[in-house]
Structures are given as C-alpha cells and as structure tokens.
Amino acid sequence: MPDFVWSSQSPLKKALVPGRHGAGKGAPGVALSHVSDIALVQVMARRGRNADVAKAAKKLFGAEPPAALKISSGKVVTLVWSGPDQFLAFSELPQTAPSIEQQEQAFSGSASLSNQSDGRCLIRISGPNARDALAKMTSLDLHDSVFPVGSAATTSIDHTAVNFWREADDASGNPAYVALVFTSFSDTLWHLFVESSLEYGVEVAASGTGH
C-alpha cells in the first residue's frame, strides 16, 4: 500500500493574482478576495422537525434559522437560507464555531448535516462598482430596495449553482457580497468575477486574508 500525503491547497492557487488589475489608478471600483479558512455545514430539517431545528439552532448558534431569502447572525456563526427548511451554518476560522461533532449532537434526529467546509469556496466582492460587475452575470435584482444587507439567494451564475448573500457594507459604505461556489467551479467563476470587474479597476487581496 502506498502512503498518501493529503495536503490541502487553495482551489484558486493558479487563478488568484493579488494586486491591482484593470482600468484606472485611483480607488478600485471592485475589491475581490478569497476567504480560504471557513467552516461550513449544510443543515436540512427532517420532515416535520422544523420546530426542533429552530430550538437547537437558537441554543447552539444563538440565532434562529433564517427566514426565506435572509441570513441570520449569531455570535460567531452566520446562518444562510439555502432553500425551504434548510440553511448553511457558516463561520470564518479561526473563530471558534461549534464543532461538527457538537452540531451533530445538537441536531441529532431533527436535521441532516453535511460538512461542506472543503466543498465550497468563498469569494467576497465589494466596492462602489461591485453591483455593476455582478449585473453582468446574475439575474438577481441587487438594488438596495430589493436586496438589502442581510439578503440571501440560491441562484445560478454562469450556469453554476451559487449561494449568494449581502453582508454589512464595507468600511467606505460600499455594498459587500459573498458568493459561495463549488470548489471545482471556483477557478472558472473567479476568472469571470475578475474579467467582469476589469473596466472598473479591481483590487485582488492575497488569498486567505479577506478584507
């Protein structure tokens, strides 16, 4: 039997080139970053057990499961609506979110859990022109009146299923969005995000640093 060495590496290892790209020299229109160290668990309520799931989520995360098309925030974990009676429990490491074992215990019998921490890649898009860049690839209406801070959607971007939500505005008051994409599609979508942002000037953060 050969010995395997399982070393994890970023799915954007080749695609992500830090620094300033595209038009202009002033403040960039779009800021892009990859948050590499995440904890992500899909929680799906079992039939007729919604009330138990809500109770367990409140106790474990300090947040009720999100209403449809919304996120809800606990102390460390953000719960993102991902369909009827299901949500994603997301946190950025190294913050100490409840472990998968603790979650399994809390939702035992009431929900089915699936650890997606290495299955999805989290990309942040923010800046004064973030919405203009996103408008090229999503059919979602991202206007403030329709998609305010705290909104979430499961949708398709470039024929790829994406969990998408809007975080609190960045330090300059510009909108900030999060796209959670399948790891194996992240290279393609990353290129799409960069290409769509070039005309506004895009600042790419070094992998894992967020912003």
Partner 1 sequence: MRIACPFCGARDSGEFTYLGDASPKRPDAPIDGGVAVEDQFYDYVYLRDNVAGLTREYWYHGGGCRSWLIAERSTTTHEFKSVTAAPGAGAAKAKQAGER
Strands across the sheet with 78-83, in order? 71-73, 78-83, 86-92, 38-45, 111-115
For partner 1, the binding residues (CB under 8 A) are: 44-50, 68-69, 82-86, 139, 153-156, 159, 161
CB of 155 to partner 1, least distance (A): 6
Of residues 12 and 178, the one with the C-beta less far from partner 1: 178
Rounded to a whole number of angstroms, the CA Rg of the chain reads: 18
CB of 141 to partner 1, least distance (A): 8
Of residues 52 and 92, the one with the C-beta less far from partner 1: 52
CB of 42 to partner 1, least distance (A): 12
Tell me the C-alpha distance between 162 and 60, whole Å: 26
Q: Which residues contact 2 (CB under 8 A, 6 or more apart)?
A: none
Of residues 21 and 46, the one with the C-beta less far from partner 1: 46
CB of 45 to partner 1, least distance (A): 4
- Per the DSSP assignment, residues forming a β-bridge with 203 are 20, 31
